């Protein structure tokens, strides 16, 4: 008989993620205090310009901008572990950090690179363990229960395989916690950071979880923590000693019951699979109905803004698309949609605006409009598209359906 499977859930979190991604292009900074934060500054541009003739990895360490003397309102998004030794970390003001660690190197965030590596490490995990829940830019939950190696040594064997494969393919390190549920796995992934693995079983509750501060429970924020402290409860163990009824009296039915369960390490939330979006769209209902001719300027500006928002959403989620469409609702509440499929995958606001503009020409615009929407569908991940897309996304524009004469003679919006 096959051995009974016990529920094993992993939480994987990349180490000093934004900073580690920068170190991939500047490996000479490895082991040094580096903080990421603020916008791109003249100092960053100057660095690149002054060394335009050498590879990034050859820029001398001495030439990088330092925190010392920083003035401004920027905050740290993250810091390397070397910098954390000086007490700096996420969300701290850069000016304060400059006092604690003036020699730290200060670099801006490169969101395009961040998204690329975020997608890359998740794709690597999916190849090995398909039950993955995306929890943001640098972390995921993975259901190890039925994956080969997921039970061996409490999940350590599979955790090590994933960790090693991510490192081999990206040069990035991560930390993994494997536990009976998401709640405990999330805590465990921090136990041995960076580049660590921690295994937690139900029986470890008292030794490994109860001594921790209540704040370590994902879901207990600063406010709840303050209230707990006010009631004399500092650790998860102290929380676990409270009667359920007492917790409900102080925190209400829902939160009280949750605090009770969490302090006892109970959590039965499933790992929810990533679902691929079918389309990405934005629409807006106007404050007053707008007319294609009389309100042309206002409508044009709204149309452009919608296209920019869709382009930003696509970029944030890491997609490009081939089918661009519009939706209109008239003052009598009738709606129409038009779309057009182009040859190459696109994602930039300008191209979306151009193609959506062509779609709009196919609609008679004699009635007032209540709503305008822009949608991009037939999506592909940016990363996959980069390999297949030709570099001439605009050749397509001639290929779409041409507005008929009668429609073309109607008022034209947004040419
Ligand atoms: P975290 O996983 O919280 O931190 P981290 O990956 O930098 O470091 P650790 O090794 O402790 O996991 O956050 C992931 C990224 O999210 C981080 O690299 C930068 C960004 N971030 C912010 O922009 N602001 C913040 O306040 C935090 C906490 C993170
Ligand atoms: Mg992290
Ligand atoms: Mg994280």
pLDDT of residue 383: 74
The secondary structure of residue 39, as a DSSP letter, is S
pTM confidence score: 0.72
Ligand 2 centroid to Cα of residue 64, in Å, is: 24
Catalytic, out of 139, 190, 202, 405: 139
Domains and CATH numbers, the chain: 9-14+113-206 (3.30.70.270), 17-109 (3.40.1170.60), 210-263 (1.10.150.20), 279-408 (3.30.1490.100)
Going by pLDDT thresholds of 50, 70 and 90, the confidence category of residue 2 is low
Q: Is 414 a residue whose pLDDT tops 50?
A: no
Ligand 1 centroid to Cα of residue 127, in Å, is: 25
Using CB distances shorter than 6 Å, the residues near ligand 1 are: 13-18, 77-78, 90-91, 137-138, 193-194
Looking at the CA of 15, name the nearest ligand.
1
pLDDT tens-digit series, residues 213-231 = 999 999 999 999 999 999 9
pLDDT of residue 394: 32
Q: 139 catalytic, yes or no?
A: yes
Give the C-alpha separation, 188 to 191, whole Å.
5
Of ligand 1's atoms, which has the minimum distance to the CA of residue 91? 26
Give the mutation target among 11, 13, 16, 17 for probing the ligand 1 site: most ligand atoms within 8 A of CB.
17
Cβ-contact 208, 200 below 8 angstroms: yes
Give the C-alpha separation, 116 to 172, whole Å.
13
State how beta strands 369-381 and 319-330 pair.
antiparallel
Ligand 3 centroid to Cα of residue 190, in Å, is: 10
Q: What is the C-alpha end-to-end distance of the chain, expressed in Å?
A: 71
Q: Give nearest CA residue, ligand 1 atom 29.
A: 77
pLDDT tens-digit series, residues 329-378 = 999 989 999 999 999 999 999 999 999 999 999 999 889 999 999 999 99
Cβ-contact 156, 174 below 8 angstroms: no
Ligand 2 centroid to Cα of residue 373, in Å, is: 36
Cβ-contact 327, 335 below 8 angstroms: yes
Bond prior to 194 in cis (omega within 30° of 0):
yes
User: Left, alpha or beta for 322 (phi > 0: left; psi -120 to 50: alpha)?
Assistant: alpha
């Amino acid at each position: 008989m096959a051995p009974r499977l016990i529920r094993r859930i992993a939480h994987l979190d990349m180490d000093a993620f934004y900073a580690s991604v920068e170190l991939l292009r500047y490996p000479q900074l490895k082991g040094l205090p580096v903080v990421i934060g603020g916008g791109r500054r003249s100092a960053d541009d100057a660095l690149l310009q002054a060394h335009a003739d050498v590879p990034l990895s050859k820029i001398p360490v001495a030439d990088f901008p330092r925190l010392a003397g920083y003035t401004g309102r920027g905050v740290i998004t993250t810091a390397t572990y070397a910098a954390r030794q000086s007490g700096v970390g996420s969300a701290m003001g850069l000016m304060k950090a400059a006092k604690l660690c003036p020699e730290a190197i200060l670099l801006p965030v490169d969101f395009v690179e961040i998204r690329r590596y975020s997608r890359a490490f998740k794709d690597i995990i999916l190849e090995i363990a398909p039950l993955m829940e995306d929890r943001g830019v640098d972390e995921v939950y993975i259901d190890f229960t039925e994956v080969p190696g997921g039970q061996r040594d409490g999940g350590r064997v599979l955790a090590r395989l994933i960790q090693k494969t991510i490192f081999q393919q990206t040069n990035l390190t991560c930390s993994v916690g494997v536990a009976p549920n998401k709640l405990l796995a999330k805590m465990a992934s921090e136990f041995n950071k960076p580049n660590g693995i921690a295994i937690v079983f139900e029986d470890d509750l008292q030794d490994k979880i109860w001594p921790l501060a209540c704040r370590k429970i994902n879901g207990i924020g600063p406010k709840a923590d303050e209230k707990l402290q006010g009631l004399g409860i500092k650790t998860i163990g102290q929380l676990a000693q409270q009667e359920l009824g007492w917790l409900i009296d102080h925190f209400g039915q829902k939160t009280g019951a949750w605090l009770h369960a969490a302090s006892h390490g109970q959590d039965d939330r499933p790992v929810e699979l990533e679902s691929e979006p079918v389309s990405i769209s934005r629409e807006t209902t106007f404050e007053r109905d707008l007319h294609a001719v009389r309100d042309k300027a206002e409508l044009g500006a709204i149309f452009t803004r919608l296209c920019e928002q869709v382009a930003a959403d696509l970029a944030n989620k890491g997609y490009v698309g081939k089918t661009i469409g519009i939706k209109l609702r008239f003052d009598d509440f009738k709606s129409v949609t038009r779309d057009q499929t182009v040859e190459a995958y696109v994602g930039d606001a300008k191209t979306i605006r151009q193609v959506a503009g062509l779609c709009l020409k196919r609609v008679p615009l004699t009635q007032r409009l209540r709503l305008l929407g822009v949608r991009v569908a037939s999506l592909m991940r940016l990363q996959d598209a980069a390999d297949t897309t030709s570099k001439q996304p605009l050749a397509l524009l001639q290929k779409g359906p041409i507005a008929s004469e009668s429609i073309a003679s109607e008022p034209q919006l947004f040419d």
